[in-house]
Structure 1
């Protein structure tokens, strides 16, 4: 192996073989630094790659009169600290995102409860027969034929009841101007 100083001079002139030789000589030390600081093999490997990328990009600035190790060490250390800062920021962002999701879920529960209350109030205004048809159709999942058989009605009568119920609920709930209800009502009750 040549003198390290001679290898650095060759690397400064763009000699890739010299660069590879320096990589082989110094990458284990940079990896150890990265692993010691970050406690993660993959991140330590990233520190090695970024350190030597910076060395190659800024190779002309390297002082051949000084040892290369302190130069690489400072670069590696800065990369480690930047990564720690980024990880801290990422963790903060993840926590914030999680908090937003939890708050949105709570908000959705409140809206759902309000919507359910509006729907229950509207259903309570139906006749007893209509409430029974509604319950069997939408809450218990009966088909029109099953409802007809259970109540001794024709399927045509059951369909008419469902149409009248939906029309009543639409007209009654339009007055509430509750857009969330309409979205819920539309997707939940018409696509069952």
Structure 2
């Protein structure tokens, strides 16, 4: 979906109090914003609450603010700031559970199962990235942001974004190589 489309939704909300357009904005961005908030180590429940609060405030203040020029960047920046505030206000440290890697299925491995296993392997590699690298990777690769937009959202330099993305990509490439070696070992048995 193009940025023009969701910017039109926001303009309809801002100018005309269009609830249907607001619902479209919410439905379009909610999952990605929650995933982003979770990446900022807010936890699922807190992430959902933070994202909901951002949308509630957006609706409440829709006509009191000047027109928001880039609604996507605004939303991600708002969620980032609320996550930081949540950490400051609620707790200093958060422990995250480490998920175990599933064992390979014995016997014949079907293409669908191979794909699923490879996806799990890559998901684990993404989870092992530093929080900043994981966030940058997801914003660029999954959410379609540009380097400068991510730099603005995270309040870092575009060069840092580029460096972190290169590191993340290299780690994922290494994980794929390890997965391929793992599959060769299984097929040699």
The alignment's TM-score, normalised by the length of structure 1, stands at: 0.42
- The structure with the larger Rg is 1
The alignment's TM-score, normalised by the length of structure 2, stands at: 0.43
Give the structure with the higher percent helix. Answer: 1
